[in-house]
Amino acid sequence: MWAGVYRGQGRVTAEEVPVPVISAGEVLVRVAACGICGTDIKKIKHGFLPPPQIFGHEIAGTIEAVGEGVRKWRPGDRVLTFHHVPCGNCFYCDKKLYSQCPTYKRVGVTSGFRPSGGGFAEYVRVMDWIAERGVVRIPPDVSFEEASFVEPVNTCLKAIYKARVEAHDTVLVIGQGPIGMLLMLLARIHAEARVMTTDPMAARRRKSVELGAEESFDPLSGDLVAALRERTSGRGADVVLVAAPHRELLEQALALVRPGGRVLLFAYNDPLLRVEFPAATVGIDEKEILGSYSASFDLQDESARLIFERILPVRELISHRFPLSQIEQALSLAAHPSEESLKIILVP
Q: Could you read off the pLDDT of 251-260 as tens digits, one per residue?
A: 999 999 999 9
Within-domain flag for 297: no
Domain extent at residue 180: 154-292
How many CA atoms lie less than 13 Å away from 65 in the CB half-sphere? 12
CATH number, domain with residue 61: 3.90.180.10
Distance, CA of 237 to CA of 225 (rounded, Å): 10
Question: Which of 31-45, 262-276, 318-332 shows the lowest mean pLDDT across its residues?
Answer: 262-276
- pLDDT level of residue 270 (50, 70, 90 thresholds): confident
Compute how many other C-beta atoms are within 10 angstroms of the C-beta atom of residue 170: 23
**How many domains does the chain contain in total?**
2
Residue 11 has pLDDT above 90, yes or no: yes
Residue 61 has pLDDT above 90, yes or no: yes
- For residue 123, give Cα distances in angstroms to 77, 81, 85: 14, 12, 20
Q: Which of 162, 216, 220, 149 is nearest to 184 (CA)?
A: 216
Within-domain flag for 301: no
Same domain, 9 and 145: yes
Within-domain flag for 306: no
**Confidence (pLDDT) at 267:** 79
Q: What is the dihedral of CA 210, 214, 216, 219, to 10 degrees?
A: -170
Q: Is the dihedral of CA 20, 23, 29, 34 positive or negative?
A: negative
Written as one string, the DSSP assignment of 219-273 is TTSS-HHHHHHHTTTTS-EEEEEE-S--THHHHHHHHHEEEEEEEEEES---TT-
Within-domain flag for 305: no
Residue 40 has pLDDT above 90, yes or no: yes
Within-domain flag for 179: yes
Same domain, 106 and 175: no
**Confidence (pLDDT) at 271:** 85
Quick check: 269 and 42 in contact, CB under 8 A? yes
Same domain, 108 and 30: yes
Same domain, 119 and 244: no
Within-domain flag for 221: yes
